[in-house]
Amino acid sequence: MGIRITITAWTLTLSAAVGTLGLGKWAGPVSFFVALGGHAVGTIADKKEDEREQREQIRAVAEQVSETDKYFSPQIVTTGDQKADLIKQKFKQLGIDLAFLGVTKGSAYDRYRFAPGPFQKMAAIDNHEPDLQYLLSSSMVPLVSKSNEGVCIDIPRGKRTFPEYEILPRPNGHAVILLGYDLGGKPYFVDLGAPSTPHLLVGGCTGSGKSEFIKMVMRSLMDWYTPQDIQFAIIDTKGFDFEFAKGLGEWLWRPVANEVEDGVSLLRELTEEMDRRKHLSDLSGVSRIVAIVDEVTDISNSGIKEVKKEGNHYLSVIARKGRKPKVHSLIGTQKPLASHLPSDIRDNLPIKVAMRTSTREDGHTITGINVSSEKLLGLGDLFCLVPGKPLVRLQSPLVTVPTRSLFTSMRSQTDLVWLTPKEAKIVAMVTSRTLARWADSGKIVHKKTDSGHRRYNKQSLMEYLESRTD
């Protein structure tokens, strides 16, 4: 506006001067056009000045925005790993600064490790798993944990593989069991004969792999010890998953109990055996007894009042006093509710194994700490807590042949006859799916060819078919 006013003023002055030049009748028009031209020139000049001022204002605003971006959204230095970059960028948007430490590739998931920035509030990292799942396009929710390793983010792999059970050299200890393999493939052992770890509690919902885990523990004991060292007392109220145990022979301290009342009787016998052993001066030649209860709540939360009361009493006595007389317990449940398993039993089972559970509260009931067990992958994926050690995530191996009895029932490997699925279907008169289910649950011996096709042992199949008709 200033330029326009100045030019207009000079134009009016010039118009007045024109009027004094004696142009006669032309003085008016000339003055008018001079004034009009001056006004136009002033308008153009003023418009250019406004545009210059606007450009300066826009440049100033852009500089402010640039400074703001540097503060709130700094450039992410690439780590060389696309997923790590996405994770860093996501947490940076949430005001959380993480430094990428590395990634460990596993068979079921990959673990990304990050170090939090100085003065970073670790609590701010919680509860962002759903955001990460969407960001990484993962089919399962990633699992975020914090430990002395830093912030660990376990991202499920698109294609999961399972380690198969293999016989390992016997570890040092009195009654060592295999609990699984860690992310790096290292076996994880615990000694039931150690003073602080005589008993184990394992819980998980349907499909978590609980029963297969128990079979794997049994298999490790049978591979490393003899019936003179270890015997089993098994309560299988479901009457399905441990049907193979009926053929364990001298490994069984007493026959398998399939009814709840028989299970309580077996627990009573165990407490009586404990009392008997108290009076022995030397227990060095006495075998250890491992009591296995596949679903403890069938007893501990029985609808029969007498069964519940008596069963809980014997379970509590074994858990509290079984270590010294060499009686151990391996307790499993699909319903790890505090109301279903009394604390005086639960708290005296020091080895805690939480497989996939329905809720986080169930994981807390099993382990006594807050764990995201509801986010585990199932099928043998587990958390293990052992006294004096940090919580560890393990994978239970797949046991295709669960017991040594299946091997000892055969004369030699040269006598084995292997059937194709088509041949086995004709012999057993069942579907391929049924055969596979029998094999996976350990009822019949099978193997896989190099190309991954199943082959079923004929003798094992015939023995199983005969047992079903007894």
**Do 218 and 250 share a domain, yes or no?**
yes
**Which long-range contacts does 188-192 make (Cβ < 8 Å, 24+ apart)?**
188/384, 188/392, 188/394, 190/351, 190/386, 192/288, 192/290, 192/328
**Do 387 and 414 share a domain, yes or no?**
no
Of the residues 23, 41, 72, which one is the last residue of a structural domain?
A: 72
Of the residues 337, 371, 395, which one is the last residue of a structural domain?
A: 395
For the chain, how long is the longest CA-to-CA vector? 147
161 in a structural domain: no
**Do 326 and 389 share a domain, yes or no?**
yes
Higher-pLDDT residue of 21, 155:
155
- pLDDT band of residue 411 (cuts 50, 70, 90) is very low
Prediction pTM value? 0.71
Number of domains in the chain: 4
63 in a structural domain: yes
118 in a structural domain: yes
Instruction: Note the pLDDT tens digit of each residue in 66-75.
Output: 555 544 444 5
pLDDT at 285: 86
CATH of the domain at 422: 1.10.1660.10
Find all residues with CB under 8 Å of 156, minimum gap 6, and list them.
Answer: 108, 109, 138, 139, 140, 142, 377
**Do 364 and 419 share a domain, yes or no?**
no
Average pLDDT value for residue range 23-28: 56
188 in a structural domain: yes
401 in a structural domain: no
**Do 229 and 307 share a domain, yes or no?**
yes
pLDDT at 406: 46
Instruction: Note the pLDDT tens digit of each residue in 173-195.
Output: 999 999 999 999 999 999 999 99
Amino acid, res. 410:
M
pLDDT at 351: 98
CATH of the domain at 291: 3.40.50.300
238 in a structural domain: yes
**Do 134 and 181 share a domain, yes or no?**
no
Euclidean distance between CA atoms 64 and 156, whole angstroms: 42
**Do 326 and 261 share a domain, yes or no?**
yes
366 in a structural domain: yes
Q: Which domain holds residue 22?
A: 2-72
Average pLDDT value for residue range 140-166: 88
pLDDT at 296: 97
pLDDT at 410: 35
Of the residues 395, 419, 453, which one is the last residue of a structural domain?
A: 395
Closest by Cα among 199, 202, 238, 242 to 332: 202
Euclidean distance between CA atoms 147 and 129, whole angstroms: 17
Specify which of 35-44, 153-162, 315-324, 404-413 reaches the highest per-range mean pLDDT: 315-324
**Do 117 and 190 share a domain, yes or no?**
no
- CA angle, corner 461, sides to 460 and 467, nearest 5? 90
**Do residues 431 and 425 lie in contact, with contact meaning Cβ atoms separated by under 8 Å?**
yes
Mean pLDDT score of the chain, rounded to an integer?
Answer: 84
165 in a structural domain: no
Instruction: Note the pLDDT tens digit of each residue in 256-273.
Output: 999 999 999 999 999 999
